[in-house]
Every structure is written in structure tokens, then in C-alpha cells.
């Protein structure tokens, strides 16, 4: 049984990746790495120091410094001195950074909603149940 589950799980990954890639196409105005940094910061909902971003995304601090610099020049992030550690800076999303993430996810939601129109009501119920069940069970496996 474990082998069958593993095969289904592995088959799910490219399907999800391809589906999401299609939804996400043309929604990113930033480079791949800039987008990762903006998304990570958006999810954290607070100012972060470079070490937190670096470890959270597993990006070298040297590479991150350049990415943050470009994002700052573009008006997507703001850097301020860290009052707790004078050697560090805190990076937070500027309004433009928040807006670009909101715009991206709004577009993804709209495309996904359009794709759902291809399903019958019964298929939508099946998909909803299946996605919910997969999420619950994967979460249970983490604990």
C-alpha cells in the first residue's frame, strides 16, 4: 500500500507544478529570486533582518544583499537600521511590494476560478473534498 501511495504522491507533484505554473505565467514582474524574497517577506508579515530571510529561503547572504538592493531601488522594499543590533538592517515590504504580491495572487485566483468552470458541480465537490483530504492527511504526517 505504501508503494501505491508514494506513486500517487509523486504523480501529483508534476500535475500541481504544471497547473500552478500555468496559473502563474505572466503574473510575475520580478526576477525569480526577487519574487521568492518578496513572497517570503509577505508571508512573514513583519520586518526581517537579512539573516532571517537568508535562512528562511536558504539563500547565501551575499546573493541576498544584491537582491534586496535591487528590490530597494525598485521601490519594493525599505531598509531601516535594526535598533536591537546596530550592525544589522531590517527589511520590510514597501507598498509596491505588497501590491505586486496582491496583484499576482488575484490574477492566479481569477485564472483558477475560470478553470473551475470546466468542471461540473459534482466534479467541483469531488475536487474540493480531495484537496481538503490531501491537505489534512499531509499535515497529519508532519506532526
Predicted confidence (pLDDT) per residue in 74-102, tens digit: 999 999 998 888 888 999 999 999 999 99
Q: Which domain holds residue 127?
A: 2-142
Helix 95-116 vs helix 2-24: crossing angle, to nearest 10: 120
Q: What pLDDT was estimated at residue 76? A: 97
Q: Taking a C-beta distance cutoff of 8 angstroms, is the pair 86, 67 a contact?
A: no
What pTM did the predictor assign? 0.77
Q: For position 106, what pLDDT does the model report?
A: 93
Instruction: Check which CATH number belongs to the domain holding 34 and give it.
Output: 1.10.10.10
Q: Which of 101, 73, 84 is nearest to 49 (CA)?
A: 84
pLDDT band for position 21 (50/70/90)? confident
- Name the average pLDDT for the chain: 92
pLDDT tier at 73, thresholds 50, 70, 90: very high
Task: Give the number of domains in the chain.
Answer: 1
Do 90 and 82 touch, CB atoms closer than 8 A?
Answer: yes
**Closest to 68 in 3D by CA, of 92, 85, 88:** 92
* pLDDT at res. 122: 97
Q: What percent of the chain has pLDDT over 90?
A: 77
What integer pLDDT is reported at residue 85 of this predicted model?
82
Query: By 3-state DSSP, what share of the chain in percent is helix, strand and coil, each rounded to 5?
Result: 70, 10, 20
Q: Is residue 27 over pLDDT 80?
A: no
CA dist., res. 6 & res. 15, Å (int): 15
Amino acid at each position: 500500500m505504501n508503494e501505491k501511495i508514494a506513486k500517487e504522491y509523486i504523480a501529483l507533484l508534476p500535475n500541481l507544478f504544471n497547473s500552478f505554473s500555468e496559473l502563474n505565467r505572466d503574473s510575475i514582474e520580478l526576477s525569480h529570486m526577487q519574487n521568492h524574497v518578496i513572497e517570503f517577506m509577505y508571508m512573514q508579515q513583519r520586518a526581517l533582518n537579512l539573516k532571517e530571510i537568508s535562512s528562511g529561503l536558504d539563500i547565501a547572504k551575499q546573493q541576498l544583499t544584491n537582491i534586496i538592493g535591487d528590490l530597494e531601488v525598485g521601490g519594493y522594499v525599505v531598509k531601516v537600521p535594526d535598533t536591537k543590533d546596530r550592525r544589522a538592517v531590517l527589511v520590510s515590504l514597501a507598498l509596491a511590494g505588497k501590491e505586486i504580491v496582491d496583484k499576482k495572487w488575484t490574477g492566479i485566483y481569477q485564472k483558477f476560478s475560470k478553470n473551475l468552470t470546466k468542471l461540473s458541480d459534482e466534479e467541483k465537490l469531488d475536487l474540493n473534498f480531495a484537496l481538503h483530504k490531501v491537505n489534512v492527511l499531509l499535515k497529519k504526517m508532519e506532526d
